[in-house]
Amino acid sequence: MSEFLIRNPQGFPFGFTAITKITDSEHNTGFNFGILRLKSGEEIKIHRNFESVYLLIQGMCTFIHDEIVKTVERHSCFTDEPQAIHFSANQFIRIKAIADCEFAIAEVDNPATFATQIFDGSNVLESHSDAHHKNMRIIFDKQNRPESKLVLGEVINAQGQKSNYPPHHYPQPELYHYRFLDPDGYGFAESHEGVFKIKQFDTYKILDYKNHTQTAADDHEMYYLWIVRAPDEVKKIKIY
């Protein structure tokens, strides 16, 4: 199972760190994924051949597209609603960091053209709590972004609790990226018949129809970003 777990124990430097690639020869998820860190005042111009989403994990920035200029802020992915910009291939996007920023970036091959959308918490598809999760957020899926080849969401896993339970799987590849409120925190990922320890900044590829569920260790609150290849038909992906 270790070949499906990518560790970055020291975190991520400024600039872009690739974690998975569409061109991976083994255990291919079918999308690019990585972490981008920008310094305060830094500005980037984006023009990619992929459908892309830039999710702000922490920081303050301005998203600029077409004639839209919108400033968003997120103190913590644990307490604050998602802030993201999602756009189709060959669009012109700018992001300016007002404070130091960290983004999770996912890209997928998709020839469809659709309007760029900023998600700022007010238009997240679903956000709610239940007995097992502190909070679950579906940012977008086929319901509100039918042309997308990605589904994006977040889970705040309460201390000592399970999420994605009972164990389940999708036919599409998935990817989870983890953070802990305590940097020394940890949790456990169940994959089919095995269980392995999850730590800060880990990324977990879920392939081959493997049933999976997550558990946060006692006294350790766990966040994970989840990305799923979108199904062809328009339907809701259930969060357990």
Q: What is the DSSP string of 111-169?
A: ------EEE-STT-SEEE--SSEEEEEEEE-TTT-TT-SEEEEEEEE-TT-EEEEEEE-
What one-character DSSP code corresponds to residue 233?
S
Domains along the sequence of the chain with CATH: 2-229 (2.60.120.10)
Instruction: Give the type of residue at 4.
Output: F
Specify whether the CB–CB gap between 230 and 114 falls below 8 A. no
Residues comprising the chain, all counted: 240
Tens-of-pLDDT digits for all 240 residues of the chain?
Answer: 567 899 999 999 999 999 999 999 988 999 999 999 999 999 999 999 999 999 999 999 999 999 999 999 999 999 999 999 999 999 999 999 999 999 999 999 999 999 999 999 888 877 666 555 557 899 999 889 999 999 999 999 989 888 877 677 778 889 999 999 999 999 999 887 788 899 999 999 988 767 888 899 999 999 999 999 887 655 555 554
Residue 91, CA atoms < 13 Å, CB-side half-sphere: 24
Tokens of 213: 């569920």
Instruction: Give the type of residue at 75.
Output: H
